[in-house]
Every structure is written in C-alpha cells, then in structure tokens.
A and B are shown apart, each in its own frame.
Chain A
Amino acid sequence: MALSANLLAAPVAAPLLTAALILMVARWGGRTLIRHQVALTALALCLNLGIALTLFFGAAVQGRRFVLQFGNWTAPFGITAYADGLSATLLLLTAIVALAVYPFAVATIDYHRARMGFHPLYLFLLMGVNGAFLSGDLFNLYVFFEVLLMASFVLLTVGAQPAQTNSGIRYVVLNLLASTVFLVAAGVAYGTLGTLNMAQIAERLPLASEAVRTIFAGLLMVAFGSKAALFPLFFWLPASYHTPPPAVTALFGGLLTKVGIYTLFRSFTLFFPELLLSWQPALLTIAGATMLVGALGALAQPGIRRVLSFHIISHVGFMLMGLAVALSGNSLAIGFGLGAAILYLCHHMIIKTALIMAGGAVELYMGSDRLASIGGLVTRQPLLAFLFFMAAISLAGVPPFSGFVSKLSLLQITLDTRHWVVSGVSVFASLLTMINMMRLWRESFWDEYSRPSRVPSRLLQSTRRQWMMLVPVAILVLFSLGLGIFGEPAFRLSMKVAQNALDRDAYIEAVSPSALYSSDLRRGAFYTTGPTIPGGNTLSSTTLGEPPWPAR
C-alpha cells in the first residue's frame, strides 16, 4: 500500500476532532458521560498509535520523507507538514507513551478533574506534541508549542489545589518567556531571511551574515533549551512536576521536554549544522552541567517525584551530549552521536514514564511521596516493587535493559572523539542516578512499613484499578527490555534515522521551497536585482555574498 502524504494531517486531526466531539456531545456530564469520554479518548489514542506506526514504518524503516503542503499551496506560501525518520520515531514514542499513561490516568484521576475536561485536554496535549513534531514551518511550530503549553497549563492546574496554583504560576511564566524568545527568533528569521518555512530558512541561512546566524541560533537555543530544561533554564521543571496528579506528571515527563529536545535536534541539524562544530565546547559544557546539576539536585530531593523530575533534567544533558558530538569523529561515524542520542531519547521516554507511573502508584498507596514518611511496601505490593526495581535499574543503565545500550553508545562516541571530561561527567551522573534509584527503591519498599498518611481510597483498592495502574508500567518495562536485548537492530535503525536527519539537502529538496521562482534563481535575478519576494526586503547582495551556484 502506498502511503499518502495526506496521512501527515492525521496525527493532528485525530486527537483534535475527537476532543471536539467529546466537548460537543459528552460535555461536563455525570458518570455515564465520563465513561463515553474515556471510551472516545481511548479510541483516539489507539488510532493515533496506528497512524504513528504506519508513519514510522514508512519514514524510519523505509527511510522515506513525507511532505504535505496543506491546500496544495507551494512551499514557502502555504503551510508545510514534514515527517522523516526523526519525526516519525518521536511520533511513535509519543503515541506509545500517551496510550500507556492513559489507563493509569483513568484509574487515578478523580471525578472532579475528569468533569473539568481532563480527557479532552489529554487529547489536546497530544495534538500539540504531534503537531510540533510534524511542523515544517517555524511559526506553525510556535503555534503548536502554544497549543501544547496551553493544554499543559490546564492539566497542571486543574483541581486548583494550593500547591498546584503555586507551581502553575512558575511553570506558566517561565514557559511563556521561552515562547516569547521563540517568537522573537521567528521575527528575526522573517525580518532577515524573508521566510518562515524551515526548509527555506535552511536554504538561505548559509548565505546570511554571521551576525544573523549567531543571533538566530542563540535565540533558538535559549527558547528550545528552556523547553528542553537545559542547564541554566530548567527551573520551571522541578518547580512544577511534583504537584499535579501522578498521571499528569508521567505524561509531562514522557512528552514535554522531548519536544524541546526534538526541536534542538531539528534546528541544529537543519539550520546550522556548522555550529555543532564551532559551538561544540559550549554545547558540551551545557550538557555536562545539565547532567551534573540534575543528578546532584535529585540527590537532595525529599520526594519520589521531585527526584524523578530532576532526573529528567539530568538525562536531557545526555541527549544534548550526543547531539554535540553528532558531526565529530571520523567520516564513517558521522551521525553516530545523534543516533546514540535518538536511541537514548527512546529509552528515556519509555522508562521515565514507567518510573513516574510506578512512583505515582507508591504515592497513591502510601498517601504521600515523601521518602521520610513512606516505606515497607514490598510485602504489600510485590509486583509494584519488582516493576519499580526493573525500571530503576533500566534508568541507571544496567545491562539487559535499554539504558545500557544507549548509554554505552553515547559513551563510546564521546570517548572516541576524546571528550574526556564530559564522558567522565556522564559516568559520574550515571553513578548518581544509580544511587538515587536505589535510594528511592529502598526508602519506599524496604523500610519499616509505615502506615499511610491518608487512607488509600476504596476505588484504588479494587483489583481492576490496580491492574490498570500496573499493566502499563509492565508493558513499558518489557518494551525497554526488548529495546535492550535487540540493541543492535535498534541502534542501526536510529543511526539510519540520524543520518537521514543530518541530510539537510534532502530535506530542502523534499520540501522544495524555491520551486516557484527557481527560474529566477537560476538567472541570478534574486541576488542581483535585490528582493523580489514578499518579506525578503532586507536580503540584499551585500549581506548575501556570492550565490552558491556558478555564474553563467
């Protein structure tokens, strides 16, 4: 079956239409209508998984590139949706994470939050994340960022408990600042390059002046680094992730920072790959500091979810380290670092979601997640203890699991490219991760059994709900185990994805943003007579230098 590029609209359309349907027909209802909402949402999530699997097969396995020009408007004038291996991998992982968290969410979200629109918001968040992965246009990327941010604002604060509103303020303000910086970057791109289409930006950016490139890259780095919770910009994350219900934290921890990481990958491979070399010391410093600060910060935290949210920061540093060495090394290993980072991203999304869900289950059984006041759960919840342990050692990087393969490949490329300090820091951060995970497991499962500070609610004691909490964790842990056992094929696939992502010429050719006036370009009219396209007014031959093609 030939895959149509129209499929690219589906990951955005399916959640959006389902959420709209829910809001229309099953709005604010009683228990029956909530059940309808749950059924519709689950249906949309399964559909999303199917679409993502199809796209993954086409884009990552077969290595194709899908481009959809909405309304058949040619590239720089219309809106472009684009999917290659990197987008499709992240779409698939997003679908898996969203579907896995959903049973947990249904089991643990209380009726009032459900009534205030938890289920449609879940779909809106999914829609924003999917749209950000598929966007081929800088401004559309901003819009999808705002969609997912708005959904996450409401998911974070619905319920309006004091802790939630406090963390909500910090989260909202810091994320809005990052969005503002991103919008400034979009304005700079349009003002200096005359376009917002990402392929056309990539086409024109090498011809722009050094100052424009540096400013644009710096703005994007600040904006996306803040979304990804890199070292000096991560404060919104540990300030907020411990306050909403655990299902929301699991969803956020699985998806939100990964959007930032994806956009960092995309912008550095597409817009300014040369900065991967010239900015490499700075990137590696940021990566090392992120790893170290995350791991050390986790060591000082008193609660399960606080520890886990600091570990999200720590592991984002690992991915940035892989990106920073993507173009280093000998020519045969081009993309090795990015491939390792993508594998690490997959591992991290899966296992972090599983860990936060397991930690949330502990919190629900004990009534609190303060390590000082919980303990001894291993005799009462042996399966939960087992799953938590497996997920914890996978996060720390113990062999049969995916953490080992991905950490090993990252370490290999950093050692090969002789970045001794940052590889030492990453090993140290892994050690701290191990210590922290063991601390979590020991404190919650192995201490004296302490009576829960809050009686676990009767519904949470029902067998069905317990299975709904544990089965997703088990599936994700099994997934991580499979990714670890079949490490080599997984790594080969992620290498292929990385090399596809690094091939910026193929991206530009697939979108072909200059097809409409390519005849003018061939004549050189664009660079001799000055601007001839809307918005391109500030481009002139003085800033552009020599055109990239030989003169006729």
Chain B
Amino acid sequence: MTSLLLALAVGSLFATGTYMIMRRGQIKLILGLALLSHGVNLLLFGSGKLTAGRPPIFLDKRHYTETLAAFQPADPLPQALILTAIVISFGITAFVIVLVNRRHTVTATDYVHGEFVPLLREGDPFDFSESSEIDQYDWLAYEVDEVYDSDDLSTGFPPTPQSEQDESAAMEEKSYRWP
C-alpha cells in the first residue's frame, strides 16, 4: 500500500512537471523543473525498500551477511543519493531562476520559444533572412578593445542596448509582443 502511494506520488509529480514544462511561461518552466526533480527524488527514495521502524545500522561486523539477512536494516544509500540529487537540483534551480530573470530583463519577454519563432508571425515561417532581433548574432556586443583599454572596473557588464532606453516604457512596449 505504501509503495503504491509512493508510485502514485512519483507518477503525478512527473505528470505535473512535464505538463508545466510544456507550457509557455518561464515561471511555469521553473516550477515544472522543480516538480520533476522532486519526482526523481521520490523515485530514488523508493528504490531502496521501504522499511518502517528499523534503523539503517547493524553492529555485528564479523557475521556480516547473517546479521544482515536476519535483521533487514533500512537501506541508507538512497538517502545519500537523494541528498546529492537535492543539492544538485537546488543549485540548478537557482541558476535557472537567475537565467530567467536575466532573460526577462534583456528580451522583455516571458515566453519560451524555440527556433521557429517566426511561426508565430505573419509571412513565410521559414524565411530566416530577417530573423527576430532577439536572435541576432550579438555575442560580440562588448567591443573587446574598448573594454580592455578602459580602466573602469567598478561596474559589471555594460548595459545592454535594451536597458539603455527608458526601461519601463520598453517593457510596456515589448511585453505584449506575442499576445
């Protein structure tokens, strides 16, 4: 019964996480990733046998296998695995949140879209000649020479072109790009 409940919980977490990932908002994406990682953690938890009321310890070193067979202690390893997985997914979730925040700042959009963003627009969907300005090749936005020559090291990254404008007006204008 307990394992059935656990299986149901894992399944529903996976289902919800998958559904949330396939929606188009960025925040929903983060929630979906978090739910998926919870599902995996529960699955790892279930991969050791569910033993209630027994400690994960045995003391008799000399009669290792006999004691183990008679005692059936709880398995401590899945908990170590889960702990590792939790730490990893925590770090990654933090990174994704920062990335999403940054993306919202520089592109003023909340939608997650693929390469085929022109599909949402008028005209020929496979016309790559004038792709959206978001996908321009602007990795060299920092002029290498100027940056190296300037001694002003106080600031972090230089302001992106979008944030040079009046930010609120730009946000208002661009957040409704794909209604």
Query: Does A215 make an interface contact (CB < 8 A)?
Result: no
Cα A330 to Cα B131 with chains together (Å): 52
Which residues from B are CB-within-8-Å of A157?
Answer: 99, 102
For residue B166, CB closer than 8 A to chain A, the reply is no
> Do the beta carbons of A191 and B102 come within 8 Å of each other?
no
Across the interface, do B81 and A162 meet the contact criterion of CB distance under 8 Å? no
Which residues, 79 to 112 on B, are CB-close (under 8 Å) to A? 81, 84-85, 88, 91-92, 95-96, 99-100, 102-103, 106-107, 112
Q: Is B2 located at the chain interface by the 8 A CB criterion?
A: no
A368 proximal to B (CB < 8 A) = yes
A162-B162 in contact (CB<8A): yes
**Segment 53-82 of B: residues with Cβ below 8 Å from A:** 64-65, 68-69, 72-73, 75-78, 81
A116, A245, A302: the one within 8 Å of B140 (CB): A245
Q: Mark B104-148, 1 if CB is under 8 A from A, else 0.
A: 001100001111000000000000110001111111111111111
Closest residue of B by beta carbon distance from A516? B64
A520 interfacial contact with B, CB 8 Å: yes
B120 to chain A, nearest CB (A): 14
User: Number of contacting residues on B, CB 8 A?
Assistant: 66
Asked if residues B44 and A187 are in contact (CB atoms below 8 Å), the reply is yes
B169 located at the interface, meaning its Cβ lies under 8 Å from any Cβ of chain A in the complex: no
Chain B residue numbers with a CB within 8 Å of A369 are 137
Q: A residues within 8 A CB of B147? A: 110-112
Cβ-neighbour of B21 out of A173, A242, A529 (below 8 A): A173
CB distance from B43 to the nearest CB of A (A): 5
A454 to B146, CA, bound (A): 14
**Does B179 count as interface, using CB distance less than 8 angstroms?**
no
Give the complex CA separation of A525 and B134 in angstroms: 65
Inter-subunit contact B144/A161 (CB<8 Å): no
> Could you say which of A11-19, A176-184, A428-436 contacts chain B?
A176-184
Query: B88 — which chain A residues lie within 8 A by C-beta?
Result: 143, 146
What is the predominant secondary structure among interface residues of chain A facing chain B?
A: helix
Choice from A364, A370, A534 contacting B77 with Cβ under 8 Å? A534
Please tell me which one of the listed residues A162, A180, A239, A460 contacts residue B106 in the complex, with CB atoms under 8 A apart.
A162
Question: Which residues of the partner chain A approach B148 to less than 8 Å between Cβ atoms?
Answer: 31, 110-111, 459
A165-B103, A187-B43 in contact; A530/B69 too (CB < 8 A)?
Answer: yes
B96 to chain A, nearest CB (A): 6
A475 at the binding interface (Cβ < 8 Å): no
- Closest-CB distance, B85 to chain A (whole angstroms): 6
How far is A302 from B118 in the complex, measured between Cα atoms in Å?
A: 15
A478 at the interface (CB under 8 A from B): no
Contacts of B44 in A (CB 8 A): 183, 186-187, 190
A460 to B21, CA, bound (A): 42
Interface pair A165/B137, CB less than 8 Å apart: no
Are B84 and A169 in contact, with the CB atoms below 8 A?
Answer: no
Nearest B residue to A368 by beta-carbon distance? Answer: B137
- Which of B36, B107, B113, B158 touches A165 (beta carbons < 8 Å)? B107
> Considering the chains assembled together, what is the distance between the CA atoms of A172 and B107 in angstroms?
17
Specify which chain A residues have a CB less than 8 angstroms from the CB of B145 in the assembled complex: 457-460
Q: Which of A476-520 contact B (CB under 8 A)?
A: 517, 520
Cα–Cα distance between A535 and B74 once the two chains are bound (Å): 9
Within the assembled complex, what's the spacing in Å between the Cα atoms of A165 and B140?
A: 14
- Chain B residues lying within 8 Å of A367, measured Cβ to Cβ, are 140
Interface hits, A447-489 → B, CB 8 Å: 454, 457-460
In whole angstroms, how far apart are the Cα atoms of A303 and B137 in the complex? Answer: 10
Please give the number of chain A residues whose Cβ is less than 8 angstroms from any Cβ of chain B in the complex: 74
Partner of A172 from B36, B49, B99 at Cβ < 8 Å:
B99
Q: Check if A169 sits within 8 Å of B103, measured CB to CB.
A: yes
Q: Is the CB of B99 within 8 A of A165?
A: yes
Please encode chain A, from 142 to 180, with 1 for each CB lying within 8 Å of some chain B CB and 0 for all others.
010010001001100101111111101110110011001
Cα distance, A196 to B48, chains bound together (Å): 12
User: What chain B residues lie within 8 Å of A370 (beta carbons)?
Assistant: 137
Q: Do residues A166 and B91 form an inter-chain contact, with CB atoms below 8 A?
A: no
Bound: A336/B108 CA distance, A: 54
CA distance A244 to B137 in the complex (A): 9
CB contacts (< 8 Å) of B151 on chain A: these are 30
| Distance of A532 Cα from B145 Cα, bound (Å) | 66
Give A246 to B162 CA distance when docked, in angstroms. Answer: 24
Partner of A166, one of B103, B129, B153, B156: B103
Given contacts A30-B153, A173-B29, A183-B40, contact A534 B144 (CB under 8 A): no
- Contact yes or no, B49 A537, CB < 8 A: yes
Whether, in the assembled complex, A135 has its beta carbon less than 8 Å from a beta carbon of chain B, the answer is no
What residues of A have a CB within 8 angstroms of the CB of B143 in the complex? 110, 457
Are A139 and B157 CB-contacts (below 8 A) given A159-B142, A162-B162, A460-B144? no
Chain B residue nearest in CB terms to A372? B129
CB distance from A545 to the nearest CB of B (A): 21
Quote the shortest CB–CB distance from A9 to chain B (angstroms): 19
Q: Among B33, B85, B139, point to the contact of A173 (Cβ < 8 A).
A: B33
Among the listed B40, B78, B129, B134, which residue makes an inter-chain contact with A190, where contact means beta carbons less than 8 Å apart?
B78
Q: Which chain A residues numbered 43 to 61 have a C-beta less than 8 Å away from chain B?
A: none
Residues of A within 8 A of B69 (CB): 529-532
Which chain A residues lie closer than 8 Å to B137 at the CB level?
Answer: 163, 242-243, 303, 363, 368-370
10 contacts between A and B (CB under 8 A): A30-B151, A116-B156, A161-B141, A163-B135, A173-B29, A186-B81, A187-B44, A534-B68, A534-B75, A537-B72
**What are the nearest 4 A-B pairs in CB distance?**
A191-B47, A165-B103, A537-B49, A458-B145
